[in-house]
Amino acid sequence: MAAAKSSGKRITLDQLKKRAAKGTLTDKDLRSYFRLDEYRSKAFAPAIQLDYARVDTDGKELPDREVAEIFNQATSTRREKPAPSQEAPAAPVKILVEGDSWFNLPDIFMPRDAVDILRETFNVSSVAMWGDTLENMLKQKQYVQKLESGNFRHFLFSGGGNDVLGSIGKYVKTRTPGDTDPAHAPGYVKPSFTSKVKEIISGYQELADDVRQARGSRTVLYVHAYANAIPKPNGRYLGRRLEALGFDPATVGPLARAIVAHMVGRFNAALQSFAAARANIVYVDLRTKVTAAGDWHSDEIHPSTRGARKVATAFAGAIGANSPAV
C-alpha cells in the first residue's frame, strides 16, 4: 500500500477511531477519510476503504470489515445523539433492527436506507451491517443480548438477499436460443434453488427460536423477502450475470425480469408460509411497494431513497397494526 501525497493534514488511525466513537465526524470528514471502492464492492456488501493519504495507519492496510465497522460506528453514534435544539418525540416506540444492507447502507456514499427513515419516527436500536449474511447474523447473534433486555416489543429483520438476488447467476440455467417468453422463467431456475430456499427458511426458524426464548420476550418479529429487482443492461449484480447466461436485459428484458421475479417470489412465498404458521411473526410483502424503476438504486439490488421510504412506510404500518393499545 502506497499512500498518495495529500495537501491536507493527516489524522492518525487512533484519532479517527476516537472521533468515530464520539460521533464527531461530519459528512465532510467521512468523505475525506473514507471512500467507496466500487470495483471491490460485492452484492449486498459495499466496500468502504480508508483514504490512506488522509489517515495515517503506520503503513498498515486495514481489513474491509474493520474499516466498515469504524465507518458504521461514526455514523450510528452520531445518529443516536439528539440535536441540542431538537425535542425528542413523546415516548417513541422502541424497535430493534438486525439485517443486511437493506437495513444499513453507508449513506454518505449510498442512498438512505429504510432504517434511516424509520429513525424519523421510532426509537431505533440497530445491529444491522452491510455485508452481513443470514449465516453470519445467526452465528454472531448480536440481537440476542438486545432482546434479553426486554426493552423491545418490535424486532425488524432483513436477511437472505445475498442468497437470492446476490447469487442469481448460481441458480439460473443458460437460455434456450430464441426463447423470449417470460412464461418460461420458472423452467430456467435450477432445482438447487429449492434447496437454498429451504436452507434460508431453516435459518429463519433458528431466528424465531432465539426471539421466542429471549428472557421475558413478547417481541413481534417482522420479516421480508425483498422485492422484484429490475435487471439493467450491463448492470453489475443482475444484468451482467444474466447476460452471461443469455438473458441480456437489453434484448430479452421481460424474460430476465420474470426470472428475477420468480426467484424473489419463491422466497416470499416460503417466508410468508413460515410466518403464517407461527405466533408473533409478521411477514411484510415489499413486492407491492418497491415497483417502479425509480424505486431502485443504480446498483439494481438496493432501493433508492424513494424506494427506501416506501419500505419504511410498509414496516411502520405493520408496527402500528401490531402495537398494543395505550
Residue 191 amino acid letter: P
Report how far residue 308's alpha carbon sits from residue 326's, in angstroms, rounded to the nearest whole number. 29
Closest by Cα among 226, 296, 314, 302 to 263: 226
Asked if residue 131 lies in contact with residue 66, where contact means CB atoms within 8 angstroms, the answer is no
Each residue's pLDDT tens digit in the chain (326 positions)? 444 444 457 999 999 999 999 999 999 999 999 999 988 999 999 999 999 999 999 999 999 889 999 999 998 876 664 444 444 444 589 999 999 999 999 989 999 999 999 999 999 999 999 999 999 999 999 999 999 999 999 999 999 999 999 999 999 999 999 999 999 999 999 999 999 999 999 999 999 999 999 977 789 999 999 999 999 999 999 999 999 999 999 999 999 999 999 999 999 999 999 999 999 999 999 999 999 999 999 999 999 999 999 999 999 999 999 987 54
- Residue by residue, DSSP assigns 252-305 as HHHHHHHHHHHHHHHHHHHHHHHHHTSTTEEEE--TTTS-SGGGB-TTSSSB-H
- DSSP bridge partners of 125: 96
CA dist 147 and 157 (Å) reads 13
User: Cα(216)–Cα(3) distance, rounded to whole angstroms?
Assistant: 52
Whole-number pLDDT of residue 83: 41
Domains of the chain: 11-72 (no CATH), 91-320 (3.40.50.1110)
Q: What is the pLDDT of residue 92?
A: 81
State the helix-helix crossing angle for 64-79 and 13-22, rounded to 10 degrees: 30
Select from 215, 98, 75 the least CA-distant residue to 154.
98
Query: Do the beta carbons of residue 12 and residue 75 sit within 8 Å?
Result: no
CA distances from 296 to 40, 56, 169, 231, 305 (A): 21, 37, 20, 10, 8
Residue 313: alpha-carbon gap to chain centroid: 16
Relative orientation angle of helices 249-276 and 192-213, to the nearest 10 degrees: 40
Helix (H, G, I), strand (E, B) or coil at 199: helix
